[in-house]
Chain A
């Protein structure tokens, strides 16, 4: 091939493609330039890029984004994906210094990591700027303070707002709990009345009582498949540590004591893990490969009597298109051991330090926290951030609403320190080892204790988490 031919046939097409791509990128960027306006339309024409987990609240939010654009002129491009995928994308974007996202959603346990790496910006400068108070119905004092602090405050600064206020609940089959035959049989067997369990002994008795083989009778009907007392998570996954921590806190254990020393290997945690491991014999087979997704399915299919589960799974149980137990469920608080506890597990919205449009992003977060939007989201299966929304009479007709409000009163949060992800990874592994029969609770938690001490060497006691 002659030089002229080579240039014409190979290099020129490549050059053409590169130039075309560059022009398209420049055009796309220009399209994102804030064109501006006045009042609520101050940021009209701005395009915000947002990433969040694909879950009921995010899907509910997606339906409202058109309204946001109509009211403010700001377009939000929402990217959704599975948990791991979202965490991966956010990590890569933050670590590479990308300005790709204006709003990110992560579980609050990432807060410490995001702050110490300067990946997210404090909200106070935006909150205190009167020129940005352009959303009429937004009132900061309506936000539930404890929830906001847990999901967005790190030391003396606020970095985010709660995206989805999940908290763990006790969910049970009200229809079989209230069945007279079952009540009488339970009383005969255990010597006390069948009722919503307030302690772990009752919880285990009920789990045992309702575990039945196919062919047996349940509430007067013959079972055509096995029925189980409880549904649980046990996969090497966040779902398992989230569920087990309810037991650990309630048994009087936890990760740190009041002084900030690691106590994961103590006797109370070992007792909680022994109890958890023992409970699995009343659960459908395969506990060590289950997360909240499988728990939700098991409850929806009506093959388990009760579960301890996040409240954002509950709307799916009451959805007539996918659940066999609509109207048959009851909801309450996690049973109590030494003390009451309910795992608070919210996701939070943060504005990255590199965001191109932090002011418009703050306008979005204000709009997100207005009563009208919070109620619309709640009606679609999300859980709100506002006191006023929880008091809304229409929402109070939802079957799980009262239980959710009660659960917030006993909410407990997991650590948000930068090392928590590594600690959580170790905890997942050790609980999984126990449930798979590869380790004993005492040995597994002793290993976790050593691992935590190694990870936090030189930083103990942990005085802020």
Chain B
């Protein structure tokens, strides 16, 4: 009992500085944001910081068409990126897994390059790439006489998909790496047994690989969904949320409320809702990982 107590005290001592620092830089602003979300704090209304409006900002958020459109756009964006990234991530992981060790190391290093580029720079790179006059994309379309539109970011039908593709380019390698680690942790006996039983490649993939990888796929999916939900840089650089509201994800909507319309209370209310959604995802992830660890123990 004394040893456990000492271990707990030691753990507390190690956690204390981090806890104090995080409290100051995270908890303080969070509590302030909670507070102002119940007030009418706008720059155009100087005394609004002291006017308590209860749930008005939250009600406005859930009844406003613009906010609804933005939330719906965010879900579409998350769905597109997570689906494509998971599928491509599995394909890349499977391909890399078949390579000999040296080639695997080289290839893995290469595919990590997009992840090392800042999201803002990714946005700028693709804005040049898709520039309808001078971009590389339009060059290929013209040279190869492809039956494709030249201004992809200007149509509400294609803009969101193109923004999502830039995210897929940047983050698929991350999932590929996670899935590769998952693949390599599957015991070789399972595949050998399937081979002995005469299972086809597809049967091995669908009955052994995917079920055994499902926990890691789920973890990757949750992590990417949480990140994609917070997407800001790429739509901001590529389209500014337009055309119209076609690519206005929730973080862009929040940014506009705070720094264009200067309605800080409404922006804080959106942040709170976003925080709760991400907290739920985090709890789901935490619970899943903890349960898995306990089962493994």
CA distance A84 to B233 in the complex (A): 13
Q: Are A10 and B13 touching (Cβ within 8 A)?
A: yes
Q: How far is the CB of B255 from chain A (nearest CB, A)?
A: 9
Give every chain A residue within 8 A of B17 (Cβ-Cβ). 10-11, 14
CA distance A436 to B13 in the complex (A): 58
Question: When A and B form their complex, what is the total count of cross-chain residue pairs whose Cβ atoms lie within 8 Å?
Answer: 106
Which residues in window 104-145 of B have CB below 8 A to A? 131-134
Which residue on A lies nearest to B156, using beta carbons? Answer: A436
Q: Is A181 an interface residue (CB 8 A)?
A: no
Contact with A along B261-288 (1 / 0, CB 8 A): 1111000000000000000000000000
Q: Is B43 an interface residue (CB 8 A)?
A: yes
Which residues in window 68-89 of B have CB below 8 A to A? none
Q: Is A44 an interface residue (CB 8 A)?
A: no
Q: How far is the CB of A46 from chain B (nearest CB, A)?
A: 30
Q: How far is the CB of A54 from chain B (nearest CB, A)?
A: 15
Q: Which of B95-103, B166-174, B186-194, B240-248 contacts A (4 or more CB under 8 A)?
A: B240-248
Say whether, besides A91-B43, A95-B264, A284-B132, A236 and B244 are in contact (CB < 8 Å).
yes
The number of residues on chain A lying at the interface, defined by a beta carbon within 8 Å of a beta carbon of chain B, is 41
Q: Which of A111-119, A204-212, A250-258 contacts B (4 or more CB under 8 A)?
A: A111-119
Q: Is A180 an interface residue (CB 8 A)?
A: no
Q: Are A236 and B241 touching (Cβ within 8 A)?
A: yes
Give every chain A residue within 8 A of B155 (Cβ-Cβ). 436
Say whether, besides A6-B13, A285-B154, A436 and B246 are in contact (CB < 8 Å).
yes
Q: Are A298 and B133 touching (Cβ within 8 A)?
A: yes
Q: How far is the CB of B224 from chain A (nearest CB, A)?
A: 27
Which residue on B lies nearest to A14, using beta carbons? Answer: B17
Q: Is A433 an interface residue (CB 8 A)?
A: yes
Chain A contact surface mostly: helix
Q: Are B262 and A422 touching (Cβ within 8 A)?
A: yes
CA distance A137 to B150 in the complex (A): 55
Q: Is A329 an interface residue (CB 8 A)?
A: no
Q: Are A287 and B154 touching (Cβ within 8 A)?
A: yes
Q: How far is the CB of A459 from chain B (nearest CB, A)?
A: 10
Which residues in window 437-460 of A have CB below 8 A to B? 437-439
Q: Is B239 an interface residue (CB 8 A)?
A: yes
Which residue on B lies nearest to A451, using beta carbons? Answer: B66
Give every chain A residue within 8 A of B245 (Cβ-Cβ). 429, 433
Give every chain A residue within 8 A of B246 (Cβ-Cβ). 436, 438
Q: How far is the CB of B252 from chain A (nearest CB, A)?
A: 10
Q: Is A237 an interface residue (CB 8 A)?
A: yes
Say whether, besides A419-B44, A421-B262, A436 and B240 are in contact (CB < 8 Å).
no
Contact with A along B191-229 (1 / 0, CB 8 A): 000000000000000000000000000000000000000
Chain B interface size range: 20 to 34
Say whether, besides A6-B13, A284-B132, A286-B151, A432 and B243 are in contact (CB < 8 Å).
yes
Say whether, besides A429-B245, A439-B244, A289 and B151 are in contact (CB < 8 Å).
yes
CA distance A439 to B238 in the complex (A): 22
Give every chain A residue within 8 A of B134 (Cβ-Cβ). 297, 301
Q: Are A288 and B243 touching (Cβ within 8 A)?
A: yes
Which residue on B lies nearest to A85, using beta carbons? Answer: B259
Among candidates A1, A236, A418, A432, residue contacting B43 with C-beta atoms closer than 8 Å: A418
Q: Are A436 and B260 touching (Cβ within 8 A)?
A: no
Q: How far is the CB of A83 from chain B (nearest CB, A)?
A: 11
Q: Is B181 an interface residue (CB 8 A)?
A: no
Contact with B along A402-437 (1 / 0, CB 8 A): 000000000000000011011011000100110111
Contact with B along A1-35 (1 / 0, CB 8 A): 10000100011001000000000000000000000
Greatest chain B CB density within 10 A among A11, A286, A421, A436 is at A286
Q: How far is the CB of A19 from chain B (nearest CB, A)?
A: 15
Q: Are A91 and B259 touching (Cβ within 8 A)?
A: yes
Q: Are A436 and B46 touching (Cβ within 8 A)?
A: no
Among candidates A11, A14, A298, A421, residue contacting B261 with C-beta atoms closer than 8 Å: A421
Q: Are B262 and A436 touching (Cβ within 8 A)?
A: no
Q: Are A436 and B151 touching (Cβ within 8 A)?
A: no
Which residue on A lies nearest to B135, using beta carbons? Answer: A286
Q: Is A169 an interface residue (CB 8 A)?
A: no
Q: Are A436 and B154 touching (Cβ within 8 A)?
A: yes
Give every chain A residue within 8 A of B46 (Cβ-Cβ). 116-118
Give every chain A residue within 8 A of B132 (Cβ-Cβ). 284-286
CA distance A95 to B49 in the complex (A): 11
Q: Are A288 and B263 touching (Cβ within 8 A)?
A: no
Q: Is A88 an interface residue (CB 8 A)?
A: yes
Q: Is A363 an interface residue (CB 8 A)?
A: no
CA distance A335 to B154 in the complex (A): 28
Say whether, besides A118-B46, A301-B134, A438 and B262 are in contact (CB < 8 Å).
no
Give every chain A residue within 8 A of B261 (Cβ-Cβ). 421-422, 425
Q: How far is the CB of A84 from chain B (nearest CB, A)?
A: 7
Q: Are A436 and B43 touching (Cβ within 8 A)?
A: no
Q: Is B56 an interface residue (CB 8 A)?
A: no
Give every chain B residue within 8 A of A424 (Cβ-Cβ). 260
Q: Is B256 an interface residue (CB 8 A)?
A: yes
Q: Are A288 and B259 touching (Cβ within 8 A)?
A: no
Give every chain A residue within 8 A of B13 (Cβ-Cβ). 1, 6, 10
Give every chain B residue within 8 A of A87 (Cβ-Cβ). 259
Q: Are B264 and A286 touching (Cβ within 8 A)?
A: no
Q: Are A236 and B153 touching (Cβ within 8 A)?
A: no
CA distance A87 to B13 in the complex (A): 42
Q: Is A356 an interface residue (CB 8 A)?
A: no
CA distance A355 to B246 in the complex (A): 41
Q: Is B24 an interface residue (CB 8 A)?
A: no
A-B contact pairs, 7 of them (CB 8 A): A95-B264, A117-B46, A236-B240, A424-B260, A425-B261, A433-B245, A438-B156
Interface residues of B (CB under 8 A from A): 10, 13-14, 17, 43-46, 131-134, 150-151, 153-156, 238-246, 256, 259-264
Interface residues of A (CB under 8 A from B): 1, 6, 10-11, 14, 84, 87-88, 91, 95, 113, 116-118, 235-237, 284-289, 297-298, 301, 303, 418-419, 421-422, 424-425, 429, 432-433, 435-439
Closest 5 CB pairs of A and B: A436-B243, A418-B44, A236-B242, A286-B132, A286-B151
